[in-house]
Amino acid sequence: MEQQKRPGMVYLVGAGPGDPGLLTVKAKRCLQKADVVVYDYLASPRILRWAKDTAERVYVGKRASHHTMRQADISALLVELAKQGKTVVRLKGGDPFVFGRGGEEGVALREAGVSFEIVPGVTSAIAVPAYAGIPVTHRGVAVSFAVVTGHEDPTKPESGLHWKQLATGVDTLVFLMGVTNLPKITAKLMENGRPADTPAAVIRWGTRPEQRTLVTTVGTAAEDVARAGLQPPAIFLVGEVVRLREKLQWFDRLAQRPLYGRRVLVTRSRAQASKLTAMLEQLGAEVVELPSIAIGEPDDHYASLDEAIAHLEDYAWVLFTSVNGVAHFFSRLERAGKDARALGYARVGAIGPATAEALKAHGIRADALPESYRAEGMLEALQGKLPPRAKILLPRAQEARSILPDKLREHGMQVDVVSAYATTAAPIDAKELATTLADGQIDFVTFTSSSTVRHFVTALGNITPLEKVKTACIGPITADTLRKLAKEPDIVARTYTIPGLVEALAAYVQAETLEQNDR
């Protein structure tokens, strides 16, 4: 009997206005279970990281005068994917029902007999003014607001906009996608009774680090925007509430943060990028995540690690050199039906504070923590603590340096090196990456390990584009790898941790800024 195909499901999801932090919890959950993500131009690429690595990603973005796919074809694609039994997230900038054509897609799905759900998103009509310090309503100033498409040509006879009522009947007007038609919009407003001196604002890339706000008036908006060279995407806001920006602006003040306006490329694995990204963004950077490595199981499928775990009582010391090593060790320990008690009398070493913190999460305090967070430092930390011919377990990356086990053996120790995980190359579009670097779209590239350097340089294939950007390395080992494979690093952290890397990058930018100001 032929097996019946499971029914598919489509989630029409609002991605919010741009800041990934404004994504809803439900939207995140939908992404995490999606088989396919069909996404728009205005949906932040950072949001896609919540999707499974195995999820198919389909870009159908539409920009002014350039449509990757027609709306009818997008709707047909959603129907087809669902009929294949897939869980589909249709990720749309802002909210699906606020000029997002989510209604059209929902109707098409219903007519095709496909199940769907709507997941509302934070609309740019409210969020973008808020980030600019402009409330769309305010007691005693504005008791009504309207969200209007600015994409419609207001001069065409069949216009659906009621200009007379809009111009004078609503306190605050928010025009989405209206920059291109700004001369016609402002002319229609004044023609229908809105005073030319009414305060107005144009906000470009709202809620994102590159947000820019131009305060103007209805009468001068078109000329001011043209002079400033503001391009879409932007919203046009009209009303007395714009005057409140002087007191309520807050996001603009973040421009004083040390990394504001800098675009930083993070090459860490997808699972580990979030901590570095969050710290960089807190200092004002715009982060582009492009993992050059992926963390997975070793070639022996954990055979050597499982064997060592089965005989943990034989070891005097267990040394961890990374957070990944801790995570995979305890994962296999749990799989074996054991917990931290299986370590018995074995003492434990951690190569750095992040690794030590990872151990604490499992109830283990490191007995040895070097001052220098690398293999050489661990050797110093172990001096005087190793009994003669001690048996030591070293669960670590499959391709790690041999200096630590070699030196321990020189001191008469018995060392079992087992592969706890492997770092492999993550898929990278080398042509797009080279173009991005060569065009000056990235200010800094960060490297947090030698493996991120190796896989990044290998994927690039040509070091010339990398020479056009500045590089920041987490420590001297990573810096040496970059030096050998590509170029002299511009920044090397003195403290070999993620916070140390961010601190070094911020200090470099501050020094660079001071030097420019002194010229």
Measure the CA angle with vertex 84, ends 45 and 4; round to 5°. 145
Angle at 281 between CA 91 and CA 479, to 5 degrees: 115
- What DSSP element (H or E) covers 459? helix 450-460
Query: Among residues 9, 19, 35, 40, which one is catalytic?
Result: 40
- Per-residue model confidence (pLDDT) at position 157: 65
Strand order of the β-sheet with 414-425 is 293-296, 414-425, 391-397, 317-320, 347-350
Distance of CA 155 to the CA centre of its chain: 41
Q: Which of 394, 312, 335, 327 is nearest to 361 (CA)?
A: 327
d(CA 396, CA 295) in angstroms, rounded, equals 12
Cα(193)–Cα(267) distance, integer angstroms = 54
Helix (H) or strand (E) holding 382: none
Catalytic residue, chosen from 177, 279, 378, 413, is 177
Say which DSSP state 138 is in.
B
Q: Using the 8-state DSSP alphabet, how is residue 315 labeled? A: -
Contacts of range 159-162, beta carbons closer than 8 Å, 24 or more positions apart: 161/188
Question: Which SS3 state, helix, strand or coil, does residue 242 take?
Answer: helix
Q: Is residue 40 flagged as an active site residue?
A: yes
Task: Check: CB of residue 469 under 8 Å from CB of residue 495.
Answer: no
Which amino acid appears at position 143 of this protein? V
ω into residue 233 within 30 of 0, thus cis? Answer: yes
Q: 54-83: per-residue pLDDT in tens?
A: 899 999 986 655 557 889 999 999 999 999
What is the predicted pLDDT for the residue at 462? 66
CA distances from 468 to 117, 441, 477 (A): 46, 10, 22
pLDDT of residue 515: 73
Bridge-partner residues for 152, per DSSP? none
Please enumerate in sequence order all residues whose Cβ is within 8 A of that of 33, keeping only pairs 6 or more positions apart, or say none: 52, 87
Q: Which residues of 238-247 are buried (b: 16+ CB within 10 A; e: fewer)?
A: bbebbebbee
Q: Tokens 């499974």: give the residue.
A: 52
Query: Tell me, what's the pLDDT at 310?
Result: 96
Question: Who contacts 122 (Cβ-Cβ below 8 Å, separation ≥6)?
Answer: 14, 16, 17, 22, 24, 94, 95
Could you confirm whether 177 is annotated as catalytic? yes
Annotated catalytic residue, options 62, 83, 391, 407: 62
CB 124 within 8 A of CB 94: yes
* Kind of pairing between the strands at 293-296 and 414-425: antiparallel
Residue type, 492: V
C-beta separation of 447 from 472 below 8 A: yes
Angle at 153 between CA 147 and CA 155, to 5 degrees: 115
Identity at 33, one-letter amino acid code: K
Residues 271, 233: contact at Cβ < 8 Å?
no
Contacts with 107 (C-beta within 8 Å, 6 or more apart), sequence order: none
C-alpha–C-alpha distance, residues 429 and 456, integer Å: 11
What stretches in the chain show pLDDT beneath 70?
Answer: 1-5, 62-67, 153-158, 373, 462-463, 517-519
| CB-based contacts of 61, cutoff 8 Å, min separation 6 | 39, 40, 41, 42, 68
**Count of CB atoms situated within 10 Å of the CB of 1:** 3
**Dihedral angle over CA of 396, 400, 404, 408, nearest 10:** 70
